[in-house]
Each structure stands twice: as C-alpha cells, then as structure tokens.
C-alpha cells in the first residue's frame, strides 16, 4: 500500500511528538492510508519521544471512518480493517509513552474511538461527540465498544449509537469521556502543556501507568492487587525513584499545590 506521510503530519518538539490527522478537506476521515500513516507516526514517536499529542488539522478533529472507502467493502476486508485499527490503537494505548489528544469540532465514530485510545483527552468548546453508526447501518470497529463503553458507560454509548445524538464537551466531561474543556482554539496548546508534564515523569512510572492500569482493570480484584504490589515495588527500586524521593525529602523540588 502507498503510505502518504502528508495524510498524517509528524513533528518532534522538545521530546514531544506532535501527530496530526491531515485531511481537512474530508474532515480528517480515516481511510486505510490514513490509518497506515498514523501507524508509522505512532511507531516513530515510541522510539524518540517521551510523550505524544494527537490532533486534527482544520475545524474538526475527525469525522470517523472514511465512508466512501467503506461502502461495499468485502466482508473479509472489513473484518481485517477493523482488526488493523485495533492493533494500531492498542499501540497507542499500551505503548511506552503517554498520548494526549486535542479535540475540536467533530469527534465522531472512529474519531471518538481514536480519541478513546489516548490517555488524556482535551476538548475545546467547539467539540461535539457522536456515534452515528446506527444511522449509517454499521457498528463501531475501532475498539469503541470496549474503550468508549468503559469511559462513559455502555448505557450512554448505546444511547448515542441508537439515537445518533451528539454530545457537547461539558456533558462529555461530566460523563468522564474528556478530562479538560478549554476555550475554542486552545485544545492543542493545553494538550502540549499536559504532554510536557507527563514527559517529566520517570519512564518506568509512565510504563507502569500505561501498561499495568488497563490490565489490572481487566483482572479480578485479588489478581489486580497482587500485580499492583509487584509494579509498585518494581518502580520504587529504580535509581530514578530513589533520586526523586530524596529530592522531595531534601526540599529540592516544589511541593504540590491546590488547583488554581
Ligand atoms: C467524509 C466523511 C467521512 C465528511 N467519510 N467522507 N462518520 C460520520 O458519519 C460523519 C459524517 N460526516 C459529517 O457528518 C460531517 O462531514 C461533519 C459533521 C463531520 C463535518 O461537516 P462539514 O459541514 O464541516 O463538512 P461536509 O461538507 O459534510 O464534508 C466535507 C467533505 O468531507 C465532504 O466531501 P466532498 O467531496 O463533498 O467535499 C464529505 O463527504 C467528506 N466527509 N465525513 C468520508 N466520514 C472503525 S468503524 C468506525 C465507524 C464510524 O466512524 S461511523 C461514523 C462515520
């Protein structure tokens, strides 16, 4: 397949990889070529960045699956395509670095599924969330039935899919689907600020947060607590943890502050 890097932009800015869906004329709809370009960008970020920001060029984050490409797709190609999205989005969720996503305009269908694979979601006031799969005669295929259902609850997800309603960012924040709502045009700036903060963490802590948390969620309480103890002791015996703990005790680092 011909992979066009121009469909997804990539820049490394002070250890932060900026990965942009770049198909604004089609509202950043995700075609097979977009998903492959995204894969390359995500892989590259894992090798050279400490955190990444996902964003979309133009007034919309992403209009979801490219419906023009999907119409009359053979059954086997549709299944394989969905599984490909799963692998690539899994590489975002359980790779080695934190991903923050900046959202504006449409965050729809597969676009919402992509956003759900990131670790932190920032929406500006223009953002709206939709799952119009029911209306289109299809179903989510980019991991949404697992990730979105866990974020906002299967009940709310089912409502969105059945009725085709769109949801405003403040409502989505109350539902737990986004963590920050900022004024129009400021999502990318906020996302970069948060990615820079996450990039300062000890790499082993970030690895545990990204890889242990989602697995522990899928375990029984007993197994989860056991794995938590292992991760907790593994991280705390690293030289980096010793230095960071000493830095606090010796008052060399700032204290925590109440939110402003
Ligand atoms: C597209 C797509 C797309 C736009 N696939 N081409 N997603 C949807 O059902 C969302 C469908 N899109 C929309 O409802 C609207 O386009 C938006 C609300 C996102 C934006 O509206 P607007 O007025 O800014 O743009 P537009 O004029 O509707 O679209 C501009 C162009 O983008 C137009 O093409 P043109 O050749 O006429 O200029 C649109 O056809 C094209 N376009 N969205 C293909 N999605 C892994 S399973 C996931 C399942 C899903 O994602 S279902 C949800 C699909």
ipTM of this complex: 0.98
111 with 218, same domain?
A: no
- Candidates 103, 101, 80; CA nearest to 92 is 101
Pairing of strands 166-167, 128-130: antiparallel
Quick check: CB of 190 below 6 Å from ligand 1?
Answer: no
In tens, the pLDDT along 183-201 reads: 999 999 999 999 999 999 9
- Candidates 124, 129, 126, 131; CA nearest to 102 is 124
* Gap from CA of 218 to ligand 1 centroid (Å): 34
- Check whether 34 has a pLDDT greater than 60: yes
**Residue 206 is encoded by which pair of tokens?**
């970030």
Domain holding 219: CATH number? 1.10.12.10
Q: How far apart are CA 132 and CA 157, in angstroms?
A: 11
Mean pLDDT of 205-222: 95
Cβ count within 10 A of residue 208: 19
Q: How far apart are CA 239 and CA 137, in angstroms?
A: 54
Quick check: CB of 27 below 6 Å from ligand 1?
Answer: yes
- Check whether 4 has a pLDDT greater than 90: no
pTM: 0.96
* Gap from CA of 198 to ligand 1 centroid (Å): 33
- Active-site residue, 133 included: yes
The mean pLDDT of the chain is 96
Closest ligand 1 atom, CA of 81? 46
Cβ count within 10 A of residue 141: 21
Domain holding 134: CATH number? 3.90.226.10
Q: How far apart are CA 25 and CA 74, in angstroms?
A: 26
- Give, in order, the Cα–Cα distances in Å from 92 to each of 99, 115, 253: 7, 10, 31
- Active-site residue, 93 included: no
Quick check: CB of 26 below 6 Å from ligand 1?
Answer: yes
Closest ligand 1 atom, CA of 67? 5
Residue 256 lies in a domain: no
CB 70 within 8 A of CB 78: yes
In tens, the pLDDT along 125-156 reads: 999 999 999 999 999 999 999 999 999 999 99
Would you state the pLDDT for residue 23? 97
* Gap from CA of 22 to ligand 1 centroid (Å): 14
79 with 116, same domain?
A: yes
Residue 209 lies in a domain: yes
In tens, the pLDDT along 57-87 reads: 999 999 999 999 999 999 999 999 999 999 9
Q: Out of 14, 69, 113, 125, which one is annotated catalytic?
A: 113
Question: Which domain does 238 fall in, by range?
Answer: 203-249
Would you state the pLDDT for residue 260? 85
**Residue 113 is encoded by which pair of tokens?**
């599924």
Residue 258 lies in a domain: no
Would you state the pLDDT for residue 193? 98
174 with 214, same domain?
A: no
Would you state the pLDDT for residue 19? 98
Mean pLDDT of 86-111: 97
Task: Say what the alpha-carbon torsion angle 202, 204, 236, 118 is, to the nearest 10 degrees.
Answer: 80
Mean pLDDT of 103-110: 98
């Amino acid at each position: 397949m011909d992979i066009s890097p121009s469909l997804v932009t990539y820049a490394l800015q002070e250890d932060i990889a900026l990965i942009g869906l770049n198909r604004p004329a089609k509202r950043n709809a995700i075609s097979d070529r977009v998903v492959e370009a995204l894969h390359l960008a995500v892989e590259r970020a894992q090798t050279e960045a400490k955190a990444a920001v996902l964003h979309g060029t133009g007034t919309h984050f992403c209009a979801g699956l490219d419906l023009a490409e999907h119409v009359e797709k053979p059954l086997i190609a549709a299944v394989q395509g969905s599984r490909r999205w799963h692998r690539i989005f899994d590489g975002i969720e359980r790779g080695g670095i934190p991903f923050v996503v900046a959202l504006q305009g449409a965050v729809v269908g597969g676009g919402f599924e992509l956003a759900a694979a990131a670790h932190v979601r920032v929406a500006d006031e223009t953002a709206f969330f939709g799952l119009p799969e029911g209306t289109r005669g299809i179903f989510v295929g980019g991991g949404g039935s697992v990730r979105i259902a866990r974020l906002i609850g299967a009940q709310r997800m089912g409502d969105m899919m059945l009725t085709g309603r769109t949801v405003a960012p403040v409502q989505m924040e109350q539902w737990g689907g986004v963590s920050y709502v900022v004024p129009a045009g400021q999502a990318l700036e906020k996302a970069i600020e948060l990615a820079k903060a996450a990039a300062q963490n000890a790499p082993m802590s970030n690895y545990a947060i990204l890889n242990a948390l989602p697995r522990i969620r899928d375990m029984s309480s007993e197994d989860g607590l056991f794995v938590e103890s292992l991760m907790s002791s593994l991280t705390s015996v690293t030289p980096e943890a010793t230095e960071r703990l000493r830095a606090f005790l010796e008052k060399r680092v700032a204290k925590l502050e109440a939110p402003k």
